[in-house]
Chains A and B, each alone.
Chain A
């Protein structure tokens, strides 16, 4: 053991009663505590109040409950994090149940964006990576406490004990005891070890990590019992809805307040500076009243903005000689020109896209003013503030705000923005202590959406005498800072001189992280530029990339693998072509797709997708494949179908009849994923596949037709335009 941590004995509590027995093994910051308890109600109550903190609960019959500190939005953290914990605890997986942990960042937070900081925030594909060391350490410590107790119970040295699947064995005396049976003999060690990496399990000894373990949330998701926040019902619960209009930030003036208040069942109206809230005793009455609101809206910064006419002005901004904000600079892109050098310049554009998570935003809140307390049931991707900003909003102490995390019916970045949480809290405060359910309709969710920004990327590459890429300049024009500028790093390509700069525009449209954020538009631009160079030089696009990746063996391995998987060198049939792309987003992924184009209609058909991924140690292989499949499908949807347009500042689309998502008829015949074996630390996989779709399709299109697709989405009209140029 590397270092011991003293246990604060004042934190140790033993609660006893006549019913069930439970063991808590937990950590409060660095101070672990153990609590043996016979009163389950008291445990629940104590846990709820966060007086006891804990990662795992064991009952005498061996049932193990492990707490998941992350949001579950379909990415599988509800299973993958407990698997890591159970691996080091040596727990019998079939006896494991999983619950959401309380939202207490000091206890359950994993390392945040700066070393030593703690964060509970399910964003940026950070969950598996950041929790891997934490779950291993906590799992190993839980095992230590059990072994310590067995050693005392049998009066043998702890070092002589072994564990396997929830059983401790002392081989010398041939004695064994299941974890659960140890509960009456639990002893608190004076010191809790802090394990170094080489004291934890070796990867070759993993028996849960890397194995095919079904996800724990799936049975409830196929029988209809899985609870999303909007599924909750409570006695005396009221309903809240808001009319926000589709001109972002417009101030409302309500012109028929009395008429609305006279509707039977309407309780009250609550004005916001951007919306009118209606509270009613049933959802149907609330929605009916919402539809009858007569609101006059103010004009805003977005007034007069027409998204589809803005690109000319963006091109002019790109032409401006002065440089924007430097995002990254490497070497000097202003290399001296040589007559043998060649310059490539292309513009890539992308329209706004919308999250379209299938569950519209919703929340259930109970504000109890006389206790200065709030209970909040929400599907949230959490936040920098684990209490989601509610303490400040209500002026209540943070410890009185209880966040009960529910399943998320899709996040994709939308549920890391807690505007809907604050709306729900303010409306619930109005009617407290009665609970209130806030629902956004789909029209609210789109019309008052927060989109991936529209942007333009001007890329300029210079190649040298032998065709090598000497410099790459990447100029981004758009609103939203990192929302448009992420995903511009080319760490795995050996390009000596690079400049990434951002030139800001502002349109008054609400913006938000959208799965993979700037990687979508920026990888599209970078990877298409590489193929434009390859086409000009008449060299193979994969060969070009492999040359650039010589100093990045892990990236290179994915490229070589996808070349093999896709039978890249084999020519496609006449009417089909393959295109390639590479994306790094934590994990490294190379993708190839095969497409055909209907030249009469302009429709692109994707037939196959192959992905080779290096994500380090894989916790759940099948789940990673599911993430890649889903990421590709969502990518195809955004690249081929999705478009938010703004006319005179107003969001034009309002529901799924005019905001089209990919449907099952448009899926590829196959999506094949290969996971490169690795003993490196795990990296996120949720956002690596989506950004490779645009470049793979556009590059395949170039090889098939000799034409360029440089504006997302590739609608049939744009495809026909490209074919006719």
Chain B
């Protein structure tokens, strides 16, 4: 099996897996970074959203060999030391999560949005977040949290 070196959360990880293995399984099952969740496996729900070189992507459809060339991979575990990222704080303030399973993906997508567009309109938020499903129906609070984080945007970037 080939050996891949991955740059995840500013650390270097080595992993020996078959070519074609999804980045999601590498993160979760081989490296123990389980904050990134599996839910659909076909990039329809966004529970596995991570950042590759600051862009939000669905880990379930990425294969490991294409992301072992020094790309910066960021997962929820690398977003902040203790959950103190402004987006995470806003998530706590609005008590957004219910079951919590989709929330890593929601947060990673929201962080990417505010990096791209620090002051998004409500419609822009909805459009950017539309790929991330939540079954518990926490969307109202997710929207509110992003607006709160956006207001404190000076702290981001």
Residues of A within 8 A of B (CB): 73-76, 214-215, 217-228, 230-231, 233, 239, 282-285, 356-360, 407-412, 439, 441-443, 622-623, 626-627, 629-634, 637, 655-657, 661-665, 667, 671
What residues of chain B lie closer than 8 Å to A667, measured between beta carbons?
126, 139-140, 143
Cβ-based interface call for B54 (8 A): no
List the 10 closest A-B pairs by CB distance, nearest first. A224-B35, A633-B137, A74-B98, A409-B101, A221-B100, A74-B99, A224-B76, A223-B83, A630-B137, A231-B34
What residues of chain A lie closer than 8 Å to B18, measured between beta carbons?
284-285
User: Residue B141 contacts which of A219, A220, A233, A626 (CB distance < 8 angstroms)?
Assistant: A626
* Given A223-B82, A408-B99, A356 contacting B135 (CB threshold 8 A): yes
- 28 CB-based A-B contacts, threshold 8 Å: A73-B98, A74-B97, A76-B98, A214-B92, A221-B97, A221-B103, A222-B92, A222-B97, A222-B100, A224-B34, A224-B77, A225-B35, A225-B77, A233-B34, A239-B29, A284-B22, A359-B39, A407-B100, A411-B99, A443-B41, A626-B95, A630-B137, A630-B138, A633-B140, A664-B126, A664-B139, A664-B142, A671-B140
- B-side binding surface: helix, strand, loop or mixed? loop
What residues of chain A lie closer than 8 Å to B79, measured between beta carbons?
223-224
A664 to B140, CA, bound (A): 8
A356 to B137, CA, bound (A): 12
A655 touches B44 (CB 8 A): yes
A651 to B120, CA, bound (A): 41
Cβ-based interface call for B66 (8 A): no
User: Residue A661 contacts which of B17, B104, B133 (CB distance < 8 angstroms)?
Assistant: B133
* Given A223-B80, A224-B36, A630 contacting B28 (CB threshold 8 A): no
Interface size bracket, B side: 35 or more
Which residue of B is nearest A627, CB measured? B98
**Which residues from 20 to 79 on chain B have a C-beta closer than 8 Å to any C-beta of chain A?**
21-22, 25, 28-29, 32, 34-42, 44-45, 47, 75-77, 79
B92 touches A656 (CB 8 A): no
A410 touches B135 (CB 8 A): yes
Chain A nearest CB, measured from B99 CB (Å): 3
Cβ-based interface call for B6 (8 A): no
Chain B nearest CB, measured from A290 CB (Å): 12
* Given A407-B99, A407-B100, A629 contacting B141 (CB threshold 8 A): yes
A219 touches B130 (CB 8 A): no
User: Residue B38 contacts which of A215, A219, A230, A285 (CB distance < 8 angstroms)?
Assistant: A230
A213 to B154, CA, bound (A): 28
What residues of chain B lie closer than 8 Å to A412, measured between beta carbons?
135
**Which residues from 130 to 157 on chain B have a C-beta closer than 8 Å to any C-beta of chain A?**
130-143
A230 to B28, CA, bound (A): 9
> Considering residues A74, A76, A228, A411, which has the most beta carbons from chain B within 10 angstroms of its beta carbon?
A74
User: Residue A74 contacts which of B22, B88, B100 (CB distance < 8 angstroms)?
Assistant: B100
Chain A nearest CB, measured from B70 CB (Å): 23
Cβ-based interface call for B114 (8 A): no
What residues of chain B lie closer than 8 Å to A73, measured between beta carbons?
98-99
B40 touches A655 (CB 8 A): yes
What residues of chain A lie closer than 8 Å to B10, measured between beta carbons?
none
A623 touches B139 (CB 8 A): no
Cβ-based interface call for B129 (8 A): yes
Chain B nearest CB, measured from A185 CB (Å): 37
A442 touches B140 (CB 8 A): no
What residues of chain B lie closer than 8 Å to A228, measured between beta carbons?
37, 101
User: Residue B88 contacts which of A222, A360, A632 (CB distance < 8 angstroms)?
Assistant: A222
A222 touches B83 (CB 8 A): yes
User: Residue A664 contacts which of B91, B129, B135 (CB distance < 8 angstroms)?
Assistant: B129
